[in-house]
Amino acid sequence: MVVSAVLGIFCGLALYLAGNADYRAQAGWGGFVYWVILGGGLGAGTGLAGVLGGVVGVVIWDRGLRRSSVARIRIGTTGAALGAALPWVVVAVAVGPGWWPFPFGVAILVALVTAVLARIILSRAERRQDGDVVEFRFNV
């Protein structure tokens, strides 16, 4: 979630800096703070949706943690990617066909980034001990 919030802040900053010079002159620090907070909030919300999607995917498909670690990693990665993309797909459906390219493009990009990050985190976190006990370690 922290990574997604930071990426959202950078996206908000990029939108502010890439905007019209007249807007930046008129908006001043208020416009800067607005875009940074908006980007951070959207990034954190997307990250939270990704985390929830991964957890829900593992809980639904492997409730007793009986599947192999590779299956859990795949299920968690898929759930996280779908969870992060889902809010943007909902936005796309809500705004109508004229605006579909932007939210669907964001959904695809977010799903890919989330899938890569979830795969890395889940691969590093899951370790087998004695063949039947699963231990989650986060060694960053």
pLDDT in tens, 91-138: 999 988 888 898 999 999 999 999 998 888 888 777 654 454 555 566
Torsion sign, CA atoms 15, 16, 17, 18: positive
Predicted TM-score of the model (pTM): 0.73
**In which element (H, E) is residue 140 found?**
none
Longest dimension (CA), the chain: 64
Strand-pairing partners, residue 127, are 135
The stretch 65-75 carries a mean pLDDT of 80
**CA–CA gap between residue 104 and residue 85 (Å, rounded):** 9
E strands, the chain, in order: 126-129, 133-136
pLDDT per residue as tens digits for the range 28-62: 888 889 999 999 999 999 999 999 998 898 888 87
- Residue that has been written with the tokens 């997307």 in this structure: 46
Q: Going by C-beta distance under 8 Å and a sequence separation of 6 or more, which residues neighbour residue 51?
A: 1, 80, 83
Domain boundaries, the chain: 2-136
Q: What's the pLDDT at 129?
A: 42
